[in-house]
Amino acid sequence: MSFNTYGNDQEKNMDNKENDANVYAADVERIPRSNSSNGMEVEIDQDGAHLDRTLSERQVTMLAIAGIIGTGLFLGTGRAIVHGGAVGAWLGYFVMAILSFCMMMSLGEMSCHQPSSGNFVAFTSAYVNDALGSACGWIYFMFGALFAPVEISAACVILQYWDKNTSHASIYTAVLIVFVITANAIGVRWFGEIEFWFGFIKVATILGLILVGIVINAGGGPVKDHIGFRIWKEYPFNDEYGGISNVNTARFLGFWAVLTQAAFSFSGLESLAVVAGEAKNPRKVMARAFKQVFQRIAVLYLLSLFIISLNVSRVDPNLLGALAEASGTAAQSPFVIMINRAGIKALPAIINAVVFTSAISSGNEGFFFGSRTLVALATRGHAPRFLLRTNRLGSPYFTVIVQGCFACLSFLSVSNGSATAFSWLSNLTTLCSLISWICICVAYIRFHKATVVQGFDRKLLPFRGYFQPYLAWFALVGFFLVTLFNVAHLQRDHTRK
The larger pLDDT score, comparing residue 423 to residue 6, is at 423
What pLDDT shows up at residue 33? Answer: 39
Confidence of residue 94 (pLDDT cuts 50, 70, 90): very high
What pLDDT shows up at residue 99? Answer: 92
What pLDDT shows up at residue 329? Answer: 59
List, for residues 287-297, the tens digit of each pLDDT value. Answer: 888 877 777 77
CA distance 412 to 476: 34
User: How many CA atoms are closer than 13 Å to the CA of 61, on its beta-carbon side?
Assistant: 7
- Pair 145, 363: CB distance under 8 Å: no
Mapping DSSP to helix (H, G, I), strand (E, B) and coil, where does residue 429 land?
Answer: helix
Type of residue numbered 147: F
Confidence of residue 422 (pLDDT cuts 50, 70, 90): low
H/E element, 34: strand 33-35
Asked if the model's pLDDT at residue 420 lies above 70, the reply is no
List, for residues 314-370, the tens digit of each pLDDT value. Answer: 888 888 887 776 655 566 788 888 888 887 777 777 888 888 888 888 888 888 888
List, for residues 136-146, the tens digit of each pLDDT value. Answer: 889 988 888 88
Task: Please provide the size of the chain in residues.
Answer: 497
What pLDDT shows up at residue 152? Answer: 86
Q: Lowest-confidence range among 22-26, 182-186, 448-452?
A: 22-26
Asked if the model's pLDDT at residue 10 lies above 70, the reply is no
Task: Please provide the average confidence, as pLDDT, over all residues in the chain.
Answer: 78
- What is the DSSP secondary structure assignment for residue 218, as one 8-state letter? T
What pLDDT shows up at residue 340? Answer: 83
Asked if the model's pLDDT at residue 21 lies above 70, the reply is no
Asked if the model's pLDDT at residue 43 lies above 70, the reply is no
Asked if the model's pLDDT at residue 204 lies above 60, the reply is yes
The residues near 426 (Cβ < 8 Å, ≥ 6 apart) are 150, 264
What pLDDT shows up at residue 5? Answer: 33
The larger pLDDT score, comparing residue 112 to residue 437, is at 437
Peptide bond into 115 cis (omega under 30): no
CA distance 460 to 81: 44
Average pLDDT over residues 93-117: 86
389 CB burial (10 A radius; 0-12, 13-18, 19+): middle
What pLDDT shows up at residue 383? Answer: 86
Q: Lowest-confidence range among 63-77, 203-217, 299-313?
A: 63-77
- Pair 67, 272: CB distance under 8 Å: yes
pTM here? 0.82
List, for residues 148-194, the tens digit of each pLDDT value. Answer: 888 888 888 788 778 777 778 888 889 999 999 998 888 888 888 88
List, for residues 458-476, the tens digit of each pLDDT value. Answer: 888 888 888 889 999 999 9
Type of residue numbered 150: V
Average pLDDT over residues 370-399: 85
Please give the share of the chain, as a percent, with pLDDT higher than 70. 82
Confidence of residue 242 (pLDDT cuts 50, 70, 90): confident
CA distance 53 to 101: 27
Neighbours of 11 (CB within 10 A): 12
